[in-house]
Amino acid sequence: MGSALHIPLPSGLQSGSTIKITVDYKTTKDCVALQWLDKQQTQGKQFPYLFSQCQPIYARAMTPVMDSPSVKIKYTAEVTSILPALMSAIRQSPPSDGPAHDGKVIGKDAVTYVYHQPIPIPSYLIALASGNVVYRSFARYEDKEWKSGIWAEPELIDAAYWEFSEDTARFLAMDEKLVVPYKFGVYDVLVLPPSFPYGGMENACLTFVTPTLLTGDRTLVDVIAHEITHSYFGNGVTHAHACHFWLNEGWTTYMERLLLEVIHSPAHRGFSFSIGYKGLVDDLQEYAEHPKYQRLVIDYAKGENPDDAYSRIPYDKGANLILHIERTLGGLDVFLPYVRNYVETFMGKSITTQQWKDHLYEYYTTHGGEEKIKALNSIDWNAWFYGEGTSLPVKMEYDTSLAKAAYELATRWDASRSTDVSKLEFKENDLDSFDSNQKVAFLEKLQSYKPLPSSHIEHLANLYKVSSTSNAEIRLRFYQFSLADPSTSVAQKYAEEASRWIIGDGSGMVVGRMKFCRDIFRAVFKVDKKLAVDAFLKEKNSFHPIARRLIEKDLQLAN
Q: Do 192 and 53 contact (CB within 8 A), yes or no?
A: no
Q: Tell me, what's the pLDDT at 192?
A: 97
Average pLDDT value for the chain: 95
Active site annotation includes 371: no
Q: Is the pLDDT of residue 506 over 80?
A: no
- Of 227, 444, 458, 539, which is the active-site residue? 227
* Integer Cα distance of 494 and 517 in angstroms: 15
Q: Do 225 and 231 contact (CB within 8 A), yes or no?
A: no
* Integer Cα distance of 154 and 160 in angstroms: 10
479 has binding-site annotation? no
Q: Tell me, what's the pLDDT at 459?
A: 97
* Integer Cα distance of 228 and 222 in angstroms: 10
Please give the average per-residue pLDDT across 308-321, as a whole number.
Answer: 97
What one-character-per-residue DSSP string does 404-425 give? HHHHHHHHHHHHTTTS-GGG--
* Integer Cα distance of 79 and 101 in angstroms: 12
Q: Tell me, what's the pLDDT at 467?
A: 92
* Integer Cα distance of 224 and 164 in angstroms: 8
Q: Do 393 and 380 contact (CB within 8 A), yes or no?
A: yes
Torsion sign (Cα): 382, 383, 384, 386 = positive
Q: Tell me, what's the pLDDT at 141?
A: 87
Q: Tell me, what's the pLDDT at 256?
A: 96
Q: Tell me, what's the pLDDT at 97?
A: 78
Q: What angle do CA 549, 551, 552 make, to 5 degrees?
A: 65
Tallying the residues shown for the chain, one arrives at 559
202 has binding-site annotation? yes
198 has binding-site annotation? yes
* Integer Cα distance of 483 and 486 in angstroms: 6
230 has binding-site annotation? yes
Please indicate whether residue 96 or residue 413 has the higher confidence score (pLDDT).
413
113 has binding-site annotation? no
DSSP state of 502: H
Query: 505-517 b/e with 16+ CB inside 10 Å = b?
Result: eeebbbbbbbbbb
Please give the average per-residue pLDDT across 224-251, as a whole number.
Answer: 97
Find out whether the peptide bond into 56 is cis, omega within 30 degrees of 0.
Answer: yes
Q: Tell me, what's the pLDDT at 82?
A: 97
Active site annotation includes 78: no
276 has binding-site annotation? no
53 has binding-site annotation? yes
Domains of the chain by start residue, with CATH: 34-209 (3.30.2010.30), 238-386 (1.10.390.10), 401-554 (1.25.40.320)
Helix (H) or strand (E) holding 514: helix 514-527
Question: pTM for this one?
Answer: 0.94
Q: Tell me, what's the pLDDT at 470?
A: 87
Residue from 256, 267, 89, 105 nearest 188 by CA: 89
Please give the average per-residue pLDDT across 198-226, as a whole number.
Answer: 94
DSSP state of 139: P
14-44 pLDDT tens trace = 999 999 999 999 998 889 999 999 999 999 9
* Integer Cα distance of 88 and 230 in angstroms: 14
Q: Tell me, what's the pLDDT at 276?
A: 95
Strand partners, 130: 50, 85
Q: Give the confidence band of 98 by pLDDT, cuts at 50, 70, 90.
A: confident
DSSP state of 499: H
Q: Give the confidence band of 140 by pLDDT, cuts at 50, 70, 90.
A: confident
Helix (H) or strand (E) holding 112: strand 111-122
Q: Do 297 and 246 contact (CB within 8 A), yes or no?
A: yes
390-448 pLDDT tens trace = 999 999 999 999 999 999 999 999 999 999 999 999 999 999 999 999 999 999 999 99
Q: Do 131 and 186 contact (CB within 8 A), yes or no?
A: no
Please give the average per-residue pLDDT across 320-349, as a whole number.
Answer: 98
169-210 pLDDT tens trace = 999 999 999 999 999 999 999 999 999 999 999 999 999 999
- Of 254, 287, 293, 315, which is the active-site residue? 315
